[in-house]
Amino acid sequence: MLDVCLLGTGGMMPLPYRWLSALMLRYNGSNILMDCGEGTQVTMKMLGWSMKAIDVICLTHYHGDHVGGLPGLLLTIGNADRKESITIIGPKGLERVVNGLRVIAPELPYKLNLIEIQDVFQSFQFGNYKIETFKLDHSVLCYGYNVVIDRKGKFLVEKAQALGLPTHYWGRLQNGETITYQEKNITPDMILGPERKGLKVTYCTDTRPVKRIVEYAKGADLFVCEGTYGEDEDKEKAYQKKHMTFSESATLAKEAQVKTLWLTHFSPSLVKPKECLHNATHIFKNTVVGKERMKKVLKFDD
């Protein structure tokens, strides 16, 4: 079960009724945060999911509205007495940015493990989930992220029995271990069925609509994507500012054949984004206009 919550939906600046774009995920006791603009810790507090359990923070880029809340969040997690290190992933310049901001958070009771993205696409394994990152097209270096939960094949009891394997080996094989039994190596694939569909959440902001997004968001259960402007007539503005309109995001969702699209990162000028929903749904039906602390529980298919 993967819990997802959209912490905020705003671009550019926080507003009294709108927090800055950030996404929180929760899987198996480990929390993941995507972006951390000014005030993210407040909407997170409203949500009630543990800040102390944040193991990974993924930064898309270093514009203030996506990272300004980082030092405050790190301090608050420190006040909650976390001791385990936190990993921060971000574009080149990560060390410079984090060290700059840490001028007001110099002492933390835990370590930061900084990973600067080096390639157009990279994948990182964290325990039982994977974080993938891929380059977007914004005015500064910017990356999208996938959180991927792979799912092994079914454990085939009849195969295990046919090999004469005692039951105390079963769990180890299920967990991916290769074991030696009666001088023979038994690998997991020998007793597991074909890999099953896992879960995938894609987070994409800020960017122009590029083909790479379709490629990496392919088949996502949830596609959280920027829709800075609601109306098609803002296409020129979106082009110039390296953002997207609702219809551009919906087109990506359609091409990537995702299950659900959540729109976020609304321009402060877009006061009532819901009124523009039809600009997306006529292209991709299963579109939802993001709202603060909107949640979704993703479950495996069967």
Interaction site with a second copy (CB under 8 A): 12-16, 37-39, 41-42, 45-46, 62-65, 67-69, 71-72, 75-76, 79, 96-97, 99-105
Nearer to a second copy, 12 or 201 (CB): 12
Q: Name residue 180's beta-bridge partners.
A: 185
**Cα distance between residue 122 and residue 136, in whole Å:** 13
Closest CB 292 distance from a second copy, rounded Å: 11
From the candidates 65, 206, 221, 234, which is the catalytic residue? Answer: 65
**Nearer to a second copy (CB atom), residue 110 or residue 169:** 110
Nearer to a second copy, 44 or 252 (CB): 44
Burial of 62 (0-12, 13-18, 19+ CB in 10 A): buried
Nearer to a second copy by Cβ, of 64 and 219: the residue is: 64
Interatomic CA distance for residues 300 and 266, integer angstroms: 31
CB atoms within 10 A of CB 235: 14
**Angle subtended at Cα 137 by Cα 134 and Cα 138, rounded to the nearest 5 degrees:** 120
Tell the smallest beta-carbon distance from residue 61 to a second copy (Å).
Answer: 10
Tokens of 203: 């987070």
Residues 198 and 221: their CA atoms lie apart, in Å, by 9
Minimum CB–partner distance for residue 90 and a second copy (Å): 12
Task: Tell the smallest beta-carbon distance from residue 133 to a second copy (Å).
Answer: 20
Q: Which is nearer to a second copy, 69 or 230 (CB)?
A: 69
**65 is an active site residue:** yes
Strands (E), the chain: 2-8, 22-27, 30-34, 54-58, 86-90, 112-116, 121-126, 129-135, 143-151, 179-181, 184-186, 196-204, 222-226, 260-264, 287-289, 294-298
Residue 64: CB minimum distance to a second copy, A: 4
Q: Give catalytic residues, as residue numbers.
A: 65
